[in-house]
């Protein structure tokens, strides 16, 4: 049973982000900046190339589905190759995908780029998250270490918005997008030189059948199902919200990434705040409530309401992610941690894929604001019920 720290201020960021942990934090930051600065632009770029809403959903869906298919096979290689190798392989593959987006003359090229993007995610995230949990040691430290991804999600859209606004004045729109993707590829490459330091020797031994069986326990399935529902919302928002905002003239194309940066600010705040709840289950339940409220706010498609909704959306993810990682740690042990995290993130891949593709298909019959709103409300309430069962079981308390 994990022992939870009571006050987040007892751990200083300078104490956490030192040595191996600091290098991992820097790698996470550079990688996430590169992916978040390009994520909202992929759909807009495809739209400029003449893609239909359904094709845009497929472009995002391919990335998530490819990650889903390769996550476990790549995670299983850690026992032979180590986390450092997988982290670096993920960085190289992600940079290659961004270069392909930049050079895409047509939609089929973007399909290929999305496939590589998904493989990069699958290779990078499970070992990096496993290293974060292992090096952090407790709830407070993990909350601080995990500020790197949402901080990158904040800086990335700010950077892409600035670049796109600057380049669109001087270049053709398609060239401005290409240059932004190339900048993302360069930032991703920097992450290659800042991987985690040491490795846990226990992580190099093969998993036993008893450890593997724990990955399919009742509590793990509840956790996976909850993460799937929230990821469905992430996929729907990522794929459809940028196009909706531009079509309704609510925001211009260069301004759209700023909205995602705004959400990421609250994502950053949610990471250390998750330790105040003293239990991963409470953090996940609070996240479910917040995502439900997000859906309600999206019913009123005014700019202030959208910003409020995205703030709750970001805070929800910020609370859920470190809480769910600690829940996995309580359900697994030793060498099975990376595989357990890989299993959890499968639900992210599948949920995002289904959410982006489903929202793209439904957009032909339902207004975008209703798609996003209903997705968030239904997913939030469903996740809350699952976490309630998780709590009654006594896990993570």
Please provide the DSSP assignment of 185-239 as one string.
Answer: HHHHHHGGGS------GGGGSPPPHHHHHHTTSHHHHHHHHHHHHHHHHHHHHHH
Residue 4, helix vs strand vs coil = coil
pLDDT at 137: 58
Q: How many residues are listed for the chain in this entry?
A: 397
Question: Are the C-beta atoms of 384 and 393 separated by less than 8 Å?
Answer: no
pLDDT in tens, 204-227: 455 544 555 556 677 788 888 888
DSSP assignments along 119-141, one per residue: HHHHHHHHHHHHHHHHHH-SHHH
Q: Token digits for 317? A: 């993810």
Residue 9 in any domain: the answer is: no
Q: Residue 320 pLDDT > 50, yes or no? A: yes
The CATH code of the domain that includes 54 is: 1.20.1250.20
Q: Is residue 8 part of a domain?
A: no
Q: Residue 317 above 50 pLDDT?
A: yes
| Tens digits of residue pLDDT in 63-113 | 878 887 888 788 777 767 777 788 888 999 999 999 998 887 788 888 999
Residue-range definition of the domain harbouring residue 59 = 17-393
Residue (of 338, 356, 117, 316) closest to 232 by Cα position: 356
Tell me, yes or no, whether 3 lies in a domain: no
- 129 — pLDDT class (breaks 50, 70, 90): confident
pLDDT band with cut points at 50, 70 and 90 for residue 250: confident
Instruction: Give a yes or no: residue 98 inside a domain.
Output: yes
- 1 located within any domain: no
DSSP 279: S
Mean pLDDT of 259-265: 85
Residues 154-199 pLDDT 10s:
788 888 888 888 887 788 878 888 888 898 888 888 877 654 444 4
Mean pLDDT in residue range 302-329: 87
Residue 202 lies in a domain: yes
Total of domains in the chain: 1
- Domain assignment of residue 206, yes or no: yes
3-state secondary structure of 365: coil
The two three-digit tokens of residue 199, written as one number = 């490795």
12 falls within a domain: no
**Statement: residue 1 has pLDDT above 50:** no
Reported as a single tens digit per residue, the pLDDT across 283-303 is 888 999 999 999 999 888 788
Give the whole-angstrom CA distance, residue 307 versus residue 235. 18
């Amino acid at each position: 049973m994990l022992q939870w720290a009571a006050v987040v201020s007892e751990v200083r960021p300078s104490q956490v982000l030192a040595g191996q942990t600091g290098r991992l934090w820097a790698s996470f930051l550079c990688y996430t900046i590169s992916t978040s600065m390009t994520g909202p632009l992929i759909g807009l770029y495809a739209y400029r190339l003449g893609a239909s809403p359904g094709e845009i959903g497929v472009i995002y869906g391919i990335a998530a589905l490819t990650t889903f298919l390769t996550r476990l096979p790549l995670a299983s290689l850690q026992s032979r190759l180590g986390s450092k190798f997988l982290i670096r392989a993920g960085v190289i593959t992600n940079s290659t995908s961004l270069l392909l987006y930049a050079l895409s003359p047509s939609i089929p090229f973007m399909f290929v780029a999305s496939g590589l993007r998904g493989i990069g995610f699958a290779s990078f995230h499970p070992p990096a998250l496993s290293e974060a949990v292992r090096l952090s040691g407790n709830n407070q430290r993990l909350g601080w270490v995990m500020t790197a991804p949402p901080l990158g999600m904040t800086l990335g859209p700010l950077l892409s918005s600035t670049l796109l606004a600057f380049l669109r004045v001087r270049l053709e729109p398609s060239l401005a997008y290409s240059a932004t993707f190339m900048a993302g590829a360069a930032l991703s490459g920097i992450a290659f030189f800042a991987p985690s330091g040491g490795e846990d020797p226990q992580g190099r031994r093969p998993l036993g059948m008893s450890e593997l069986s724990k990955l399919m326990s009742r509590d793990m399935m509840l956790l996976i199902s909850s993460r799937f529902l929230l990821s469905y919302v992430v996929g729907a928002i990522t794929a459809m919200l940028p196009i909706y905002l531009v079509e309704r003239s609510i925001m211009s194309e260069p301004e759209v990434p700023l909205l995602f940066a705004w959400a990421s600010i609250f994502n950053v705040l949610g990471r250390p705040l998750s330790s105040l709840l003293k239990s991963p289950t409470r953090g996940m339940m609070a996240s479910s409530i917040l995502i439900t409220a997000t859906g309600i706010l999206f019913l009123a498609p005014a700019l202030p309401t959208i910003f409020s909704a995205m703030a709750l959306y970001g805070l929800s993810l910020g609370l859920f992610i470190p809480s769910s990682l600690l829940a996995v740690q309580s359900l697994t042990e030793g060498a099975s941690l990376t595989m357990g995290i890989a299993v959890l993130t499968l639900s992210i891949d599948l949920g995002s894929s289904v959410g982006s593709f489903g929202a793209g298909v439904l957009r032909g019959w339902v207004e975008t604001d209703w798609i996003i709103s209903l997705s968030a409300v239904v997913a939030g309430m469903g996740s809350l019920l699952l976490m309630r069962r998780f709590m009654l079981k006594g896990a993570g308390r």
